[in-house]
Amino acid sequence: MATTSIVVMGVSGSGKSTVAEKLVERLGWEFAEGDDFHPEANVAKMRAGTPLVDDDRWPWLRSLAGWIGEREQAGRSVVVTCSALKRSYREVLCEGHPSVWFAHVTVDPDVLRDRLEKRTGHYMPSSLLESQVATLEQLQDDEPGAAVSGAGSPDDVVEQLLAALDSERGLRR
Ligand SMILES: Nc1ncnc2c1ncn2[C@@H]1O[C@H](COP(=O)(O)OP(=O)(O)OP(=O)(O)O)[C@@H](O)[C@H]1O
Ligand SMILES: [Mg+2]
């Protein structure tokens, strides 16, 4: 199988971290949480509930892209979480990295709100959800990846994601 970098994307609360954890259990690939690549200034802004602007995001995305690129060079497949809401953000991640395959986990805003209200110990306040939903640009046909419904159980989401990846990239061939 060719080296694959699955980028689990979607708005906050869609289940990126949950799905990625299960993927890593299944595949045994190396994992990175995209949020961990934010510079300290961005983390402080998010804690304060201040939406990031794009100039805050480029260094974050370039740093994550660098991590992906190093592993791709070494032929190591990975799983990464990253909201990757805009096409321009996704381009930073996949430019020069043919291994990248986006898995967009899609969930209704009502379900998202409910999940975020129930979640504890996380710095993303649910007030940022509105701006996330407004910012989201759907994955387009000419981008590498697929949209997967996040409405079912985490295991269902993983099954659908792997089936889509298999049909596009021949995961199990
Ligand atoms: N398929 C699912 N069904 C039910 N609950 C889920 C599902 N996926 C995730 N959850 C729950 O929803 C909440 C948000 O999930 P998670 O933290 O994985 O989202 P996220 O996309 O990583 O969010 P963020 O961008 O803020 O990191 C968590 O409490 C998680 O347990
Ligand atoms: Mg997460």
| pLDDT, tens digit, 9 for 90 and up, residues 24-40 | 999 999 999 999 999 99
Query: If you take atom 26 of ligand 1, which residue's CA is the nearest one?
Result: 12
pTM here? 0.94
Ligand 1 contact via 145 beta carbon (within 6 Å): no
Q: What is the mean pLDDT of residues 142-146?
A: 98
C-alpha–C-alpha distance, residues 59 and 100, integer Å: 19
Q: Which amino acid is at 13?
A: G
C-alpha–C-alpha distance, residues 132 and 83, integer Å: 9
CA of 158 to the centre of ligand 2 (A): 15
Q: pLDDT confidence of 23, banded at 50, 70, 90?
A: very high
Q: What is the 3-state secondary structure (H, E, C) of 86-105?
A: CHHHHHHHHCCCCCEEEEEE
Q: Among 123, 150, 122, which residue's Cα sits nearest to residue 136? A: 150
C-alpha–C-alpha distance, residues 152 and 158, integer Å: 10
State the CB neighbour count (10 A cutoff) for residue 121.
4
Half-sphere exposure of residue 13: CA atoms within 13 angstroms, side-chain side = 24
Ligand 1 contact via 125 beta carbon (within 6 Å): no
Q: What percentage of the chain exceeds 70 in pLDDT?
A: 93
CA angle (149 as vertex; 147, 154 as ends), nearest 5: 120
The pLDDT of residue 51: 78
C-alpha–C-alpha distance, residues 117 and 47, integer Å: 16
Q: What is the mean pLDDT of residues 94-111?
A: 95
Ligand 1 contact via 107 beta carbon (within 6 Å): no
Q: Is 7 exposed, middle or buried (0-12, 13-18, 19+ CB in 10 A)?
A: buried
Ligand 1 contact via 124 beta carbon (within 6 Å): yes
C-alpha–C-alpha distance, residues 157 and 106, integer Å: 10
Say if residue 102's pLDDT is above 90. Answer: yes
